[in-house]
A and B are shown apart, each in its own frame.
Chain A
Amino acid sequence: MSAVTLEKKSKKGSALAFLGVLAVLVLVIVLENTLNPNKNIIVFTALKKGAVYALVAASMNLLNGFTGLFSLGQAGFMLLGGYTFGILTIPVAQRDSVYYIFDGSAINFSITEAMQNLFGGSGVGGAVGFVLGAIIALICAGLVAAFFAWLIGLPVLKLKSDYLAIATLGFAEIIRAIFQWEALGRVTNGANALKNFPTLASFNITNAEGEIVLRLSTFVAFAISGICIWLIVLLINSSYGRAFKAIREDEVAAEAMGINLAKHKRMSFIISSFFAGIGGALLAMFMNQVQAKTFTSTMTYEILLIVVLGGIGSISGSTIAAFLYMACSEWWLRFLDVPTSFKTAGGYWAFVIVLALAAVGITALLVLRRRKAGARKFSEMWSACVLGVVILGYDIYYYASATAKVPFLNSGFRMVVFSVIIMVVVLFFRKGLFGDKELSDVFRRLGRTKKAAPAEAEGGAAK
């Protein structure tokens, strides 16, 4: 692909991305203020968490997908961001109660309060000051994470692929231990949670009676995350972004082209960590508290799975996958955790029949795959039938046991189903939702086919 088309693509892409983000933001404000807040709270909670993870996944994708540096330190940088935000914004009056074990905090200063006072205490001025203070605190959160990334990057960025992954994972664990250390208790509150700092709900506009006039909590999460993702997209489409991609494709060739490997790797690592720090601060605002034990390596794995599900090297993929992931794990599949019984005979029979069909279907699919791969003899095919036979056997057993209880449903089953879905995607849809394409690429293709004759469009889609 020539440089000219790249340039064109980037301009169009970023403009489209910007418009898309804007439309989503407006929609979120409208929906949050028109829908019943209590009935639909689960929707907005899942959306907020999705927005936070979209940012973190995009930042991880910048590093893993675009620069080809396999880092597993995301949770550590999020922890740094979350704590920085918390420490800087807890109101001074609340500090004693938050740091109650350590008899008060070592830092008696709150950016949001300071800015509020600067802009005249309360009312509109106070609100402006509060927002400004929160933004400054968010940027500080990113900067602290970026600073540590620079520090960590000095030794570890020389390492290759898996070694880099395990070293960054190790660093995340070390950071967690340091933040839990009692000796730093007056700053980090030791093992205890930091709370009472501004959360997403603090951005809701209330009247004098304390009633909420305008709900902005989901909007704020979307806005911050949206702006950061937009910045990431801009970066990727800049000359730096092209350098990152060159490094990903071939380090030696990139170096030969005159790209400074060390400098660009460091830059990508630091910028990714900066946004991970902001993501951590957002997560703290979402959780209403921040505590080191939340930021485990499991969290990093989850983010990595989101990146892969969305497509390594696709920011829109990461964003959409983050929302799908959160909606599935936190909302849509929750009913799987509650034991229930079939209430109607229809549901019962539907279950028995669908299970039998699924057994047959899976067997047929696997056998077909084997045949295509060239297997003919029974000895080569039998293993493809095992799964189907097991499912069918269970179906018959369930039918024979004559109970109306829905099988399996119990606490924890949601996560089992969820991890099976992930495995199916990882094994059968290796490229994830988007591969390395962006949403704008998809739009452009659609636009092109619209201009063309309908018959041609069909031909294009079938390809």
Chain B
Amino acid sequence: MKKIIALVLALIMVFALCACGGAPVAEAPAEDSSAADSSAAEAPAGENVVKIGVFEPLTGDSGAGGKQEYLGMQYANYLTPTVEIGGVEYTVQLVPADNASSADRSPTAAAQLVSEGVSVVLGTYGSSAAIAAGPTFESAQIPAIGVTCTNPQVTAGNDYYFRICFLDPFQGTVLANYAFEQLGATKAYLLGELGNEYDNGLLNYFEEAFTGLGGTVTKDNFPQNNSDFTSYLNKAQSEGADVIFCPVSIAYSTQIVALAKDMGLTTPILGSDTLDNNTVLEAAQGSSVDLRVSTFYADGANPEFDAGFKEFINSSSENLTNNGGNDNIAAVSVMGYDAYYVALEALKAAGSIDSTAVQAALWDVQYEGVTGNIAFDDVNGDAVRDTAFIKIADTANNTWVSGGSQQVAG
């Protein structure tokens, strides 16, 4: 009997939440909710609504990056909440689904978006989740626009996955050239997370390009959930490396940078787009760490955008937390912002909210975004990009300064 009461109570609790959360939506969102909420909340009924799926990791290893990317989309949605498709005004509704940074949860998160009837999907941060979800989108014939998934395998052989960022081979080569030519390094220490295809892909391309230029490298992998980097940095130091290349995820890079700060390491630390993050920057604050990262967008390239976005971040405490506690602009946010407008362009060009029409239209979309001109090649639907920006941490003022741009022919 007691057990039955317990079960009934537990069920009441759950269903109370269900009933409230899932209750059909008839009225406009409450006025006091913040901008972030109104974008996530459902749009007023009776109007035309076009749904854009946000397929991002909001928890898990890449949660921080995923949230920043989503923040950019929310800002874009806040600025441009409607779009005119085929002469009719549509309200854009962002539908988020959390893929928890993991491959085995990605197909269900993707299926969730498909069953919500989204016209186009944005995301994701982290390539392995994108690879796992690709076939789901493909079979449902819904186009996905990868924002910062840089692995070549995301779009290869999948006509429904597009992406607006550069690829790993490009980034690895760019950074190797930068290390060799600009930093004058001949010996590099490469450090990546064991079992992470992003890290190891970049390390391989870096190694290839760097040894091709005449440099030598030492390569190491640390195990997942490792939190002790002392031996690795000591090894780099004792081997006399001129540059440390560690394109690892935010949580690890913060630890590495913090450790470098404590050890008083002056060897330049070179990172990829993941290190372009406020938590990493803060870890280096007030030290002599020489941190350089390659990224999609140079801070300050578009002051108008920067000012507006900073205002948006500061407008609610939730946004501020999701951005890592300060209002520095992460490149992934800007990419998320651009991805949103690319999706709108595609919807306009398609003239309908039918996902297959959007897919057909995406191939020819041209958009002048904050991060530069965006267009897709006709092989895989990858962005045509030939420039990466280098940013250097200004540890005294806790901001990034531009280190110029780097190009690779072809």
- Give A residues with C-beta under 8 Å from B: 37-46, 49, 94, 97-98, 100-101, 176-177, 180, 182, 190-193, 195-196, 199, 201, 283, 286-289, 291-294, 296, 299, 326, 330-332, 334-344, 347-348, 350-351, 354-355, 357-358, 361-362, 365, 368-369, 403-406, 409, 411-412, 415, 417, 421, 424, 428-429
Contact = CB atoms under 8 A, between A and B. Distances in A.
Nearest to A357: B12
Chief secondary structure at chain A's binding surface: helix
B16 A350 contact: yes
Nearest to B142: A38
Contacts, number: 211
A343 B58 CA distance: 25
Nearest to B33: A341
Contacts of A341: 29-30, 33, 37, 41
5 contacts: A39-B115, A191-B192, A288-B107, A337-B98, A347-B19
A97 B380 CA distance: 13
B132 A287 contact: yes
B153 A287 contact: no
B2 A365 contact: yes
B18 interface: yes
Given A38-B117, A344-B27, A100 B111 contact: no
Interface of B: 2-3, 5-7, 9-10, 12-14, 16-27, 29-30, 32-33, 36-37, 40-42, 58-59, 63, 96-98, 102-108, 110-112, 114-115, 117, 128, 131-136, 139-140, 152-153, 156-157, 192, 194-197, 199-201, 204, 221, 223-224
A339 B38 CA distance: 9
Given A288-B135, A339-B37, A406-B20, 13 more contacts: A38-B114, A42-B108, A45-B111, A177-B194, A192-B201, A195-B131, A286-B107, A292-B195, A340-B41, A348-B20, A365-B9, A412-B58, A429-B3
A183 to B, nearest CB: 11
Nearest to A179: B195
B32 A331 contact: no
B223 A177 contact: yes
A38 B115 CA distance: 6
B40 A343 contact: no
Contact of B153 (A37, A195, A358, A411): A195
A336 B108 contact: no
B152 A100 contact: yes
Chief secondary structure at chain B's binding surface: helix
Nearest to A200: B135
B103 A424 contact: no
A98 B153 contact: yes
A404 B97 contact: no
Nearest to A299: B104
A191 B199 contact: yes
A95 B109 CA distance: 28
Given A417-B14, A424-B10, A412 B59 contact: yes
A201 B283 CA distance: 46
By CB atoms of chain B within 10 A, which of A191, A289, A331, A415 has the most? Answer: A191
B108 A49 contact: yes
Contact of A191 (B16, B131, B195): B195
Given A39-B115, A41-B115, A288-B132, A354 B16 contact: yes
B111 A335 contact: no
A351 B107 contact: no
A11 to B, nearest CB: 34
A303 B134 CA distance: 26
A351 B132 contact: no
Contacts of A190: 200
A176 B195 contact: yes
Nearest to A334: B112
B108 A46 contact: yes
Nearest to A404: B30
A24 to B, nearest CB: 20
A176 B40 CA distance: 39
Nearest to B198: A191
Contacts of B104: 49, 283, 286-287, 294, 299
B97 to A, nearest CB: 7
Nearest first, the 6 closest Cβ-Cβ pairs linking A and B are: A411-B58, A45-B111, A404-B30, A330-B108, A354-B16, A293-B195
A211 to B, nearest CB: 11
Contacts of A347: 19-20, 23
A361 B131 CA distance: 47
B5 A365 contact: yes
B136 A41 contact: yes
Given A49-B108, A293-B224, A40 B115 contact: yes
Contacts of A101: 200-201, 204
Contact of B140 (A37, A193, A342, A406): A37
Contacts of B197: 191-193, 291
Nearest to A355: B16
B271 to A, nearest CB: 18
A2 B42 CA distance: 63
A289 B104 CA distance: 9
A351 B63 CA distance: 30
A338 B128 contact: no
Given A344-B26, A412-B59, A45 B136 contact: yes
Contacts of A406: 20-21
Contacts of B20: 342, 347-348, 350-351, 406
B261 to A, nearest CB: 28
Nearest to A97: B156
Contacts of A362: 9
A384 to B, nearest CB: 13
B360 to A, nearest CB: 16
B17 A336 contact: yes
By CB atoms of chain A within 10 A, which of B27, B104, B105, B139 has the most? Answer: B104
Given A42-B115, A45-B111, A98-B153, A335 B18 contact: yes
B194 A191 contact: yes
Contacts of B19: 347, 350-351
B108 A331 contact: yes
Given A101-B201, A191-B197, A193-B103, A42 B33 contact: no
A348 B23 CA distance: 10
